[in-house]
Structure 1
Amino acid sequence: MSSKLEQLQELLSPIVEALGYQCWGIEFFSQGRHSLLRVYIDHENGILIEDCEKVSRQLSGVLDVEDPISVEYTLEVSSPGMDRPLFTLEQFARHAGEQVRIKLRVPFEGRRNFQGLLRGIEEQDVVVVVEDHEYLLPIETIDKANIVPRFE
């Protein structure tokens, strides 16, 4: 995790949790005037638009005062949704048995994209089975990971 994301996580997670939600994860896309700070919140009863608005108001105030981002950006507060992103080893472990789509920062065994069954974790690696081949992907190499929703 980059130092900017770690700084934002340390600043924003306690606020989200004080409001009664789980801070599922944070993404920051720095693109000049179109930068985006996305904060995912979760709750055992689900997330409504009102929950996102409530958290957004609180985070906006803190971000205005602390000013951790030097460029213009848009704050977006969102539920992780059905195709929820996975950020931590704990989240990968919790969703073992689900289908996942993983994109790596750098190629691993000649590929950057994996879609398959999330088996779990082993130490600092995410274990995913793709076409009967098991891969141990180091968490620090994962750029993006999402649950693949199942519709039955």
Structure 2
Amino acid sequence: MTIRERLLADLTTALKTKDTARLEALRMVKAAIQKQEIEVQHQLDDAETTALLSTLIKQRREATDAFVKGGREDLAAKERAEAELLESYLPPPIGVAELDALVTSAIAETGAGSPKDIGLVMKAVMAKLAGQRVDGKAVNELVRAKLSNQPSR
């Protein structure tokens, strides 16, 4: 069952059980998926759906921070709950050891030898991680650390 199919099945269940908070969040996700599908003119696969969900989660976290700063804890709690719900549809995050191995192999494949090659290595690593749940900032920090520790060529 694809992520999209799971979302739609859960939407139907939320509708039947009258779970309004879950229903609102899932309707928002469904609308975002449909909008994206119209833009790309094909049905989203799991990798594209995962990327969209990650974007929506990031938006919820930013909104939570804004609401907390504005003193609206009620709205911040709603945004937090939506982010947690959306995270439940994402695959588990990639492990640190697996990420380290991917970065090491990408450095070897690209022949990177200095911090100047960060962009080249990042491109290779992120291509391998397509459709997986990963923090790009953490990947960048790992690549930067590994390239800084390598002897110059």
Give the TM-score normalised by structure 2: 0.26
Q: Which protein has the bigger strand share?
A: 1
Give the TM-score normalised by structure 1: 0.26
Q: Which has the larger radius of gyration?
A: 2
Q: Between the two structures, name the one with larger relative contact order (CA 8 Å, sep ≥ 6).
A: 2
Q: Which protein has the bigger helix share?
A: 2
